[in-house]
Amino acid sequence: MSEFRVSSRYAKSLLELSIEKNALEGVLADMKQLDAIANVNRELGLCLKSPIITFDKKLKVLKALFETTGNAITLAFFDIVARKNRADLLLDISREFQKQYNLHMGIQVADLTTTFPITEELRAKFIATVKEISGLEKVELNEKINADLIGGFVLKVNDRQLDESLSSKLRALRLEFSQNHYESKI
């Protein structure tokens, strides 16, 4: 079975259990924390994916990270996943859980890349655009700053991308000029 399907099933089970036990927000916070720690500390991801490190050592690492702040459901879930030798999928499960949470709560996540920090007025316009595209009322806007865009913005909503950056327009112009449209009549 593919890793995506396994991660998706574990995430769905965790989501349903956390809804049933009224601990959805706590489990979500733990999954976001796991994702954030893995993004900052590459060694955690390598540790979880390593076939050499035994499941009990992986479980000790996870418990050390989450024993004071972690939800009881999250800790039990880590225990089950580690004992099933699926700890290598925990980061994928975490990301998939966050996607399924957003779907369950009706939240649309959009990525916005600009060359400068945006104002509240611009943020409201982008949120309105995302609402129009997705049809959902709740929007979570992930803002990034990239000076390589030169100007403009790139807005990604699901599989759609609205690229209004100057760098992409310059690339298109460069491509157009690279083709010779001149025909000699001599």
pLDDT (0 to 100) of residue 82: 92
Domains of the chain from N-terminus onward: 3-103 (1.10.520.20), 106-178 (no CATH)
Q: Compute CA distances 56 → 63, 73, 77, 90, whole Å.
A: 10, 18, 14, 15
pLDDT (0 to 100) of residue 166: 82
Q: What is the mean pLDDT of each run of 10 residues along the chain (186 residues)?
A: 88 96 95 94 92 92 91 94 93 95 93 91 92 90 88 88 84 80 64
| pTM of the predicted model as reported, rounded to 2 decimal places | 0.80
Return the closest-CA partner of residue 156 out of 125, 126, 136: 126
The crossing angle, in degrees rounded to 10, of helices 42-49 and 55-66 is: 150
Specify the DSSP element, H or E, that contains 97: helix 90-105
pLDDT (0 to 100) of residue 29: 95
pLDDT (0 to 100) of residue 179: 78
